[in-house]
Amino acid sequence: MRKKLFVSKSVWKSWFVLLAAVIMLAGCSTGKGNEGNKSSQTEGSSTPSQTEKKTDTDEKVTLRWVFPGPGKQKDSEEVWAAFNEKLKEYLPNTTVSFEVYPVAEYADNWRLLAASGEAIDLAWMGYVQDVAAEINKGSYMALDDLLDSESPITKQLPDWLMNLAKFDGKQYGIPNFQNVADVRMGIRIPKEFVDKGYIDPAEAEQIFTQYGVNSKEAYDVIEQYLANLKEKDELRLGASTFSFNWAPGDRHGSLGAPFTLRGDFKDADSLRVVNIYDTPEMKLMYDTAADWFKKGYIRKDILSVQNPRTDEGKPDGYVYWIHNVSADQANFDSERYGFPIEVIPMEQEDYITRPIYNTMTGITRTSKHPERAMQLLELMHTKEGKELYNLLVWGLEGKHYKKVSDDRIETIGYAGQGTADANYGLWKWVMGNTANSYETQADPAGFNEMWQKLNEEAIKSPVLEFKPNSEPVKTEIAQVQAVVKEYSASLQSGALPDHEKQYADFVEKMKKAGSDKVVQEYQRQLEQFISTQK
């Protein structure tokens, strides 16, 4: 923690006498010794000089860091040992003990760790948890006293990003900088079907952008395309049902599934809390899925397919699927999937709207070394620690990746992000500032510059700092989520013969579980928040 030091005049006089003695002793040093000290810092070296390093690292400490990812891998210990060795150049007398849990198990493991009261220094928090509830019960400490105007984090990360991790005006985490814009959606289609005239990209884009992704007009365009394919006996596996996730979506700010905001994100007063599953858009989506299943546009075995998304981007797979759109997306997807892909944008504007930021790292209330923990966070989130960050995320060059250029690599044994069976590879969006990450074969060229520009230009919600307190309705939220788990996937498949009744039962059970109470409580909190911003 940085503190200003105030000293009396008498003490200053004593210090000047001591300083003079030190200077005299330094003058007696041999020229050889001085040259040795000078040569230890090579010009242009990326290793920080002693004056740049933090000075309060005399005590030997081990920082404990817990986070989600692929789980412990074959070469984890080797890479972590290399990281700790390299860390000595930045933070002397500091070692990090890493604990990585599979993401599906992270929330349960965190609850056990938090309940035990064990000393933990750094912990990830994000979308698998109720972050606001964790902060309200004191699991994390406020970081404001550790973050002054001289912190590289304060200087290098944008204010709007840092504000995403503020609760009641206090900073409780360092957001992991990445693309946080609600990126525009785009429909992917094998280009051969465009060339055959089964869909007109310009006409489709005009209708998508005019009426919206989750409109009857948009579904009609896609259905005509599917009908053309069926007539020509080229339907393959038909429509990807995962694409229906994007239709009603929570593009306008998740409050913790299934609750979200709807309205004009340029006008705070227009925003309303809804249960996403109890909306006309969701009803339209389920009706469309059921209709398409009956017409044969959705594969008959859909209910037995464990992961339907695996057939997206296969030559004999789905004839369309929907996902994010970035610059040069068609060329990137064509290279990625190995055959020509046409990408048709479905939206025109980009927003940053999510009130609860999905991924950040905080210092826990049980930390015995918060100052040192903050110093490590500074390295993981700023350009000074770029080399350390990439070592931790990607592992050892030649063993876990091949260097293509200064900022681009090819990972070995996986693509995208590390898997449980990979020798090594953590998830870059968990560990720190992804602007410092190498680009990989899973990224289009210039990806880091692309998403940073997108973040900067995106329309930012006026309620980014709104984080609802779930405590008054935590029981209802848990009950509603259990109902969602029971119904949502089967309704989305379109394969239920009585989908109308199933949907009605779904909504009724959510209401009995307390969904309306959650909506009312969150709406009250939202209106209270908006009133304080005026």
Q: Is the confidence at residue 1, as pLDDT, over 90?
A: no
Mean pLDDT along residues 338-342? 96
Taking residues 212-240, report their average pLDDT. 96
Residues 277, 273: Cα–Cα separation, whole Å:
12
Least confident of 251-265, 280-294, 389-403, 419-433: 251-265
pLDDT the model gives residue 467 = 82
Q: What is the pLDDT of residue 256?
A: 80
**Mean pLDDT score, 407-418:** 94
In this structure, are residues 438 and 409 in contact, taking their beta carbons and an 8 Å threshold? yes
Residue 16 — pLDDT band, cuts 50, 70, 90?
very low
Tell me: pLDDT of 156 over 50: yes
d(CA 68, CA 101): 5
pLDDT digits (tens, 9 = 90+) for 294-313: 999 999 999 999 888 899 99
Closest CA relative to residue 165, chosen from 341, 362, 18: 362
**Average pLDDT for residues 107-129, to the nearest whole number?**
93
pLDDT of res. 396:
98
Q: Indicate if the alpha-carbon torsion angle 15, 21, 26, 27 is positive or negative.
A: positive
Residue 253's pLDDT band (boundaries 50, 70, 90)?
low
Residue 137 contacts by C-beta under 8 Å, 6 or more apart in sequence? Answer: none
Mean pLDDT over residues 244-273, rounded? 82
In whole angstroms, give the CA distance from residue 214 to residue 247: 5
Q: Residue 248 — very low, low, confident or very high, per pLDDT cuts 50/70/90?
A: low
Please give the mean pLDDT across all residues of the chain.
87
The band of 342, judged by pLDDT with boundaries at 50, 70 and 90, is very high
Closest CA to 183 of 348, 375, 319: 348
Element spanning 79, H or E: helix 76-87
Question: Which pLDDT band holds residue 56 (cuts at 50, 70, 90)?
Answer: low
Q: Report the SS3 class of residue 67.
A: strand
Rounded to the nearest 10 degrees, what angle do helices 386-394 and 76-87 cross at? 170
The rounded percent of the chain whose pLDDT value lies above 70 is: 87
Under the banding of pLDDT at 50, 70 and 90, the label for residue 50 is very low
Q: Give the model's pLDDT for residue 53.
A: 42
Lowest mean pLDDT among 139-153, 428-442, 516-530: 139-153
Tell me the C-alpha distance between 268 and 533, whole Å.
Answer: 10
Q: Read off the pLDDT band of 287 (50, 70, 90).
A: very high
More confident residue, 8 or 244: 244
State yes or no: pLDDT of 14 exceeds 80: no
Domain boundaries, the chain: 61-178+358-460, 185-352, 471-533
pLDDT at 249: 62
Instruction: Kindly tell me if the per-residue pLDDT of 23 is higher than 70.
Output: no
Confidence check: pLDDT of 146 > 90: yes
Please report, rounded to a whole number, the percentage of residues in the chain having pLDDT higher than 90: 68
Instruction: Please state the rounded mean pLDDT for residues 75-96.
Output: 98
Place of tokens 């959606």: 185
What is the helix (H) or strand (E) element at residue 16, kind and residue range? helix 9-27
User: Does residue 20 register a pLDDT over 80?
Assistant: no
Kindly write down the DSSP assignment for every residue of 312-368, as one continuous string. Answer: TT-TTS-SBEEEE--TTHHHHHHHHHTS-EEEEE--S--EE--SS-SEEEEEBTT-S
Cα gap 283→289, rounded to integer Å: 10
Superfamily of domain 61-178+358-460: Periplasmic binding protein-like II (3.40.190.10)
pLDDT of residue 8: 36
Tell me the whole-structure pTM to 2 decimals: 0.74
Report the pLDDT value the prediction gives residue 344, as an integer from 0 to 100.
96
Q: What is the pLDDT of residue 127?
A: 83
pLDDT higher than threshold 80 for residue 250: no
Residue 47: per-residue pLDDT: 43
